[in-house]
């Protein structure tokens, strides 16, 4: 009587082990799926209108910024007059990425009009053009001027205002917008009255 009972116990043990492995496998797959969703890639496709350089880069994976990618973006957005580089606030890259999605072109190309500016470059611009702030956030690498090919700049401005993540400037005659990570505010340079405060 003992031997059949031993066999039955062994069968239960094997079946139990198999069920444990199947259950464990299911938990692992679910965890892996959640992990991959958390670690989604965030990328940017940028074109520098002054240097004619283009960069297509993943700058963030999940909640983690990729330091090597940030360094490449810092160089890409350098002051093209002096080639000086300054580290950008990476929140700007999130604004750019979210902007492309907001206007219906996720991952679409962004043309960079201005990134980092040294104090000397900013002063020279102020001396020869209008609409340049003395203490511009470009000097701190906290602002970017941009446009998107095929996207109306007014639509881009509205999308940036809706994000409410910093300052938004609109320059319709030069066909670009300014975004920064300073306090939430807006301005419209040399605009019709209806566009100064409105959408």
Is a pLDDT exceeding 80 seen at residue 107?
Answer: yes
pLDDT value of position 39: 75
Chosen CATH of 43-196 out of 3.30.1380.10, 3.40.630.30, 2.60.120.10, 3.40.50.2300? 3.30.1380.10
Q: Identify the three-state secondary structure at position 18.
A: helix
- Taking residues 59-87, report their average pLDDT: 97
Residue 196 half-sphere exposure toward CB, CA atoms < 13 A: 4
> How far, in Å, CA of 56 to CA of 21, rounded?
43
Give residue 141's pLDDT band: very low, low, confident or very high (50, 70, 90).
very high
The helix/strand/coil state of 67 is helix
- Three-state SS for 43? strand
CA 172 to chain centre: 24
Q: From CA 192, how far away is CA 194, in angstroms rounded? A: 5
Domain boundaries, the chain: 1-38, 43-196
Label residue 125 by pLDDT band (50, 70, 90). confident
For residues 47-67, give the mean pLDDT.
97
Token pair belonging to 90: 């990476």
């Amino acid at each position: 009587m003992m031997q059949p009972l031993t066999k039955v116990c062994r069968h239960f043990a094997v079946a139990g082990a198999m069920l444990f492995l199947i259950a464990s496998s299911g938990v692992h797959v679910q965890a892996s799926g959640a992990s991959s969703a958390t670690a989604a890639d965030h990328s940017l496709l940028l074109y520098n209108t002054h240097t004619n350089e283009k960069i297509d880069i993943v700058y963030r994976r999940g909640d983690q910024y990729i330091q090597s990618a940030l360094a490449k973006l810092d160089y890409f957005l350098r002051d093209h007059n002096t080639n000086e580089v300054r580290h950008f606030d990476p929140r700007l890259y999130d604004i750019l990425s979210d902007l492309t999605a907001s206007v219906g072109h996720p991952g679409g190309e962004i043309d960079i009009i201005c990134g980092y500016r040294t104090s000397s470059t900013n002063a020279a611009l102020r001396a020869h053009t209008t609409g340049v702030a003395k203490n511009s956030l470009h000097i701190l690498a906290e602002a970017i001027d941009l446009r998107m090919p095929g996207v109306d700049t007014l639509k881009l401005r509205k999308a940036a205002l809706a994000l409410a993540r910093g300052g938004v400037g609109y320059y319709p005659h030069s066909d670009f917008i300014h975004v920064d990570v300073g306090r939430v505010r807006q301005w419209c340079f040399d605009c019709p009255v209806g566009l100064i405060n409105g959408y």
